Amino acid sequence: MKNYHTHTRRCHHAIDSEEDYIQAAIQSGYTELGFSDHTPWVYESSFHPTMRMEAREIEDYVTTLLSLKEKYKNQITIKIGLECEYFERYMTGLENMLKQYPIDYIILGNHYDETDENGLYFGYPLTAQQLKKYVDSCIKAIHTGLYSYIAHPDLARYDTTDPLYKQEMKRLCEEAKHLNIPLEFNLLGYKTHRHYPNETFFKLASEVGNRIIIGTDAHESAALLDMHTYQQAKSYIESLGLTLTEDISFLR
């Protein structure tokens, strides 16, 4: 059992230490745990984010996880990742950071349009044009070859009964299938009854034949102990005829 969606305190909305997460994962029987805290960006403005680490914190993030990776190497495999948007103007900076630090993988968490400095949050109700922008940016992101999978691909909030929703989300599913990119079933959203994961999206994914990966989206170590929610989600996914996977591509 593997999980690649785990946060740390650096994002300002998670609790517990990295070691707490690792110990919880071991207790639950995970064989591989990936940390994917919200990526830092080097902004052109003086903007300071409130939901991600600052650029100066990446060094400690990596150093801490490398130390724990060594400490627990005989009990669990630790991977170092990041959850990143696709901010086109800042992608060169991201690519440079991936070269500078031993980051094993990144996942696409497409929260904001263009940048979080002043961009639209895709989890708010969207217009038709904004929904299309969400899908367009997801597709641009996965075509970079950098992202291992799409986290909460159904984050975009739109009327799921509207034919446009099905048209656009099917377009995303088809492109992900073409590039062999898994789509995440987000356990945090499932447990807390958010607007995602939603059945309309995953029925489309079933029709297209996408691979689905369960992402705990852990913001506290207890999330990795909650096997009841995990098994519920797994049964639900399988009831929709979807194929589960735990295999992702790594940068190195």
CA distances from 227 to 26, 150, 191, 222, 237 (A): 12, 23, 12, 10, 15
Mean pLDDT of 75-79: 98
The answer to whether residue 168 is domain-embedded is yes
* pLDDT given at position 84: 97
Would you call 246 exposed, middle or buried from its count of C-beta atoms within 10 A (0-12, 13-18, 19+)? middle
CATH code for the domain in which residue 11 is found: 3.20.20.140
E strands, 1-160, in order: 2-3, 32-38, 77-84, 105-108, 147-150
Number of alpha helices (DSSP H) and beta strands (DSSP E) in the chain: 8, 8
Q: Is the pLDDT of residue 252 over 80?
A: no
Confidence of residue 42 (pLDDT cuts 50, 70, 90): very high
Q: Is the pLDDT of residue 222 over 90?
A: yes
Q: Is 105 helix (H, G, I), strand (E, B) or coil?
A: strand
The distance in angstroms from the start CA to the end CA of the chain is: 21
> pLDDT tens across 148-184, in order?
999 999 999 999 999 999 999 999 999 999 999 999 9
Q: Total domain count for the chain?
A: 1
* Residue pair 132/165 in contact by the 8 Å Cβ criterion: no
The answer to whether residue 250 is domain-embedded is no
Mean pLDDT of 194-219: 98
Range of 190's domain?
Answer: 2-244
The answer to whether residue 222 is domain-embedded is yes
Q: Is the pLDDT of residue 95 over 90?
A: yes
The answer to whether residue 107 is domain-embedded is yes
The answer to whether residue 249 is domain-embedded is no
> pLDDT tens across 101-140, in order?
999 999 999 999 999 999 999 999 999 999 999 999 999 9
> pLDDT tens across 4-36, in order?
999 999 999 999 999 999 999 999 999 999 999
Q: In whole angstroms, what is the distance from residue 110 CA to residue 214 CA?
A: 17
Q: In whole angstroms, what is the distance from residue 11 CA to residue 238 CA?
A: 32
Q: In whole angstroms, what is the distance from residue 92 CA to residue 171 CA?
A: 27
Percentage above 90 pLDDT, the chain:
98
The answer to whether residue 156 is domain-embedded is yes
The pair of structure tokens assigned to 7 is 């946060």
The answer to whether residue 232 is domain-embedded is yes
